[in-house]
């Protein structure tokens, strides 16, 4: 069996590492998710106006015909205090359609009335409808049109938009609170370091700002995913660990591939066993992220504790059931919990996350390995050279693996945050594989870590449910209290009288 390359991430509300068997096929299947057509998204009761703000495509150069693009943002001022000093809750849009994020950030919608806050959900450049060059097709065409898709440009978009809104609403004294999950959480935290004058605080949920260079061990991510399965069932863990060889061996013949195609119910014939392995790895990683304690529909409609259910099905096959058949039963929970999908397709991207490939190949270089001892994934040792080669092949672009830590810091993040940061909540659930790259310790009185044992990927940003466990209710209450503190401080410093 070939070594697998576990390196490409789709980092979104949900960050997704993609195993692939060969460098050549690495980028072909960037989002290996089944198309389960006609699955309904449950939409929370949210209402907003959709607006567009014309942004400079390049904030850091000047030209005689500067390109611009329309940045979409959703805005709700229903609860905003008309005295113009009410807070502005600003969600740092990440790599996908902003409507989807707004729908999955119920926490903000729930607390806005309490704070009399304005809600703003700006879309990240190059995602959703916020694309330059008139269309996504042109914007994603090549390295030259993609070149402005960077986190620094996105942060500058936020700074410019906030400045514009405060001016337009005569809200110069309104405190701005940043929110973000996953990559959006990274942006929210970085915004505190790079634009401290723009906002008063940030809730950075599941923000792996340390997942760069050698700051954390590269096997961290896959170890956590694997542990999430092992804690449910050691046999389940072992079935998965054994499955890769079996799939690879079957995939060596056309007959074997045809059989796998049937076993896993793909609409089209599989081209390689690696495609299947990528599809499975993707499901396991996502499952670890959305391993919520109640039924939810974020990436996919899923039951509560979905890994428990996956393992129940993998373990539960009748004696004599082959490992691939067991695995199929398991991942069916992820890809087809509602049972509506007739068959599966690779390469589907309903939330428009594909721009992350470019970001991962330029500045968001996150080394990831899979340990032969502790991981249930195929062993893989991170190799920067082959990663670079892949990026050159796919985009003609050479990554800058040390750029993020130069620009934002990271190696000595505790000192940096302690001395220069304030009012940041790093919230993490330890079931979330991205938690290993985040900040898990309190740094100072105002830079705090909220860590929950049973939490998954930015669960705190989701709407509350009747099934919320106590630890989640308490976590959100703490967040509200901390945010209230930031805002009160701001009012006190600026001698504003405002009744929250």
Residues lying near its own copies in the complex (CB under 8 A): 56, 58-64, 66, 142-144, 146-148, 150, 152-153, 156, 159-160, 163, 193-198, 358, 362-363, 395-398, 400, 402-403, 406-407, 409-412, 415-416, 419-422, 493
State the Cα–Cα distance between residues 341 and 339, nearest whole angstrom. Answer: 6
> Is the distance from CB of 7 to CB of 382 less than 8 angstroms?
yes
Q: Please report how close the Cβ of residue 56 comes to its own copies at its closest, in angstroms.
A: 8
| Comparison of 107 and 358: residue with beta carbon closer to its own copies | 358
Q: Please report how close the Cβ of residue 250 comes to its own copies at its closest, in angstroms.
A: 39
Nearest alpha carbon to residue 350 among 128, 170, 186, 69: 128
Count of Cβ atoms closer than 10 Å to residue 481 Cβ:
9
The dihedral region occupied by 118, where left means phi > 0, alpha psi between -120 and 50, and beta the remainder, is beta
Q: Please report how close the Cβ of residue 86 comes to its own copies at its closest, in angstroms.
A: 19
| Comparison of 157 and 246: residue with beta carbon closer to its own copies | 157
Nearest alpha carbon to residue 407 among 358, 361, 359, 363: 363
The dihedral region occupied by 288, where left means phi > 0, alpha psi between -120 and 50, and beta the remainder, is alpha
| Comparison of 31 and 198: residue with beta carbon closer to its own copies | 198
The number of C-alpha atoms within 13 Å of 349 and in the hemisphere containing its C-beta is 20
Q: Please report how close the Cβ of residue 153 comes to its own copies at its closest, in angstroms.
A: 6
| Comparison of 128 and 410: residue with beta carbon closer to its own copies | 410
CB-count burial class (<10 Å; 0-12, 13-18, 19+) for 256: middle
Q: Please report how close the Cβ of residue 369 comes to its own copies at its closest, in angstroms.
A: 23
Nearest alpha carbon to residue 307 among 328, 286, 325: 286
| Comparison of 66 and 316: residue with beta carbon closer to its own copies | 66
| Comparison of 2 and 411: residue with beta carbon closer to its own copies | 411
Q: Which residues are catalytically annotated?
A: 182, 432, 457
DSSP assignment letter at 318: P
Q: Which residues lie below 8 Å from residue 318, measured CB to CB, with a gap of 6+?
A: none
Q: Please report how close the Cβ of residue 355 comes to its own copies at its closest, in angstroms.
A: 13
State the Cα–Cα distance between residues 149 and 69, nearest whole angstrom. Answer: 12
Which residues make beta-bridge pairs with 429? 452
Can you list the pairs that 378-384 forms with residues at least 24 positions away whose Cβ atoms lie under 8 Å? 378/1, 378/3, 378/4, 378/6, 378/19, 378/244, 378/277, 379/3, 379/4, 380/3, 380/4, 380/5, 380/6, 380/19, 381/3, 382/6, 382/7, 382/218, 383/5
Q: Please report how close the Cβ of residue 132 comes to its own copies at its closest, in angstroms.
A: 12
Q: Please report how close the Cβ of residue 196 comes to its own copies at its closest, in angstroms.
A: 4
Query: 């709407």: which residue's tokens?
Result: 463
Q: How far is CA 333 from the centre of its chain?
A: 21
| Comparison of 300 and 439: residue with beta carbon closer to its own copies | 439
Structure tokens at 425: 């909540």
State the Cα–Cα distance between residues 358 and 144, nearest whole angstrom. Answer: 12
| Comparison of 156 and 290: residue with beta carbon closer to its own copies | 156
> Is the distance from CB of 228 to CB of 431 less than 8 angstroms?
yes
Helix or strand (DSSP H, E) at 447: strand 447-452
Q: Please report how close the Cβ of residue 391 comes to its own copies at its closest, in angstroms.
A: 10
> Is the distance from CB of 490 to CB of 174 less than 8 angstroms?
no
| Comparison of 194 and 241: residue with beta carbon closer to its own copies | 194
């Amino acid at each position: 069996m070939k070594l697998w390359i576990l390196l490409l991430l789709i980092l979104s509300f949900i960050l997704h590492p993609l195993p692939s068997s060969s460098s050549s096929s690495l980028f072909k299947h960037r989002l290996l998710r089944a198309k389960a057509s006609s699955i309904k998204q449950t939409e929370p009761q949210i209402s907003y106006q959709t607006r567009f703000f014309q942004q400079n495509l390049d904030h850091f150069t000047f030209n005689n015909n500067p390109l611009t693009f329309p940045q979409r943002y959703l805005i709700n001022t229903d609860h905003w205090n008309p005295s113009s000093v009410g807070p502005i809750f600003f969600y740092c849009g990440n790599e996908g359609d902003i409507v989807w994020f707004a729908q999955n950030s119920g926490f903000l919608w729930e607390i806005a009335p309490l704070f009399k806050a304005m809600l703003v959900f700006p879309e990240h450049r190059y995602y959703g409808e916020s694309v330059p060059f008139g269309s996504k097709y042109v914007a994603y065409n090549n390295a030259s049109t993609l070149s402005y898709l960077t986190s620094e440009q996105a942060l500058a978009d936020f700074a410019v938009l906030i400045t514009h809104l405060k001016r337009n609403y005569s809200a110069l004294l309104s405190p701005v609170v940043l929110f973000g999950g996953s990559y959006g959480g990274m942006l929210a935290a970085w915004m505190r370091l790079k634009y401290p004058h723009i906002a008063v605080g940030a809730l950075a949920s599941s923000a792996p700002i340390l997942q760069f260079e050698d700051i954390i061990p590269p096997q961290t991510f896959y170890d956590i995913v694997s542990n999430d399965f092992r804690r449910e069932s050691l046999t389940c863990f072992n079935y998965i660990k054994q499955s890769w060889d079996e799939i690879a061996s079957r995939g060596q013949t056309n007959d074997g591939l045809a059989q796998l195609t049937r076993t896993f119910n793909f609409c089209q014939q599989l081209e390689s066993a690696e495609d299947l392995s990528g599809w499975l790895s993707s499901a396991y990683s996502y499952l670890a992220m959305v391993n919520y304690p109640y039924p939810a529909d974020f990436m996919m409609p899923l039951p509560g504790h979905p890994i428990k259910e996956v393992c129940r099905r993998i373990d539960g096959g009748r004696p004599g059931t082959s490992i691939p058949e067991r695995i199929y039963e398991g991942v069916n929970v992820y890809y087809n919990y509602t049972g509506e999908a007739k068959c599966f397709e690779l390469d589907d991207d309903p939330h428009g996350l594909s721009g992350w490939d470019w970001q991962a190949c330029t500045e968001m270089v996150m080394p990831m390995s899979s340990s032969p001892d502790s991981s249930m994934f195929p062993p893989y040792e991170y190799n920067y050279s082959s990663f670079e080669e892949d990026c050159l092949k796919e985009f003609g672009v050479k990554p800058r693996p040390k750029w993020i830590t130069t620009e934002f810091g990271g190696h000595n993040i505790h000192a940096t945050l302690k001395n220069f940061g304030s009012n940041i909540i790093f919230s993490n659930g330890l079931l979330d594989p991205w938690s290993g790259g985040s900040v898990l310790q309190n740094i100072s009185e105002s830079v705090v870590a909220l860590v929950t044992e049973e939490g998954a990927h930015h669960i705190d940003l989701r709407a509350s449910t009747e099934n919320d466990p106590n630890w989640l209710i308490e976590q959100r209450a703490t967040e509200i209290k901390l945010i209230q503190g930031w805002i009160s401080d701001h009012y006190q410093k600026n001698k504003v009288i405002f009744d929250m």
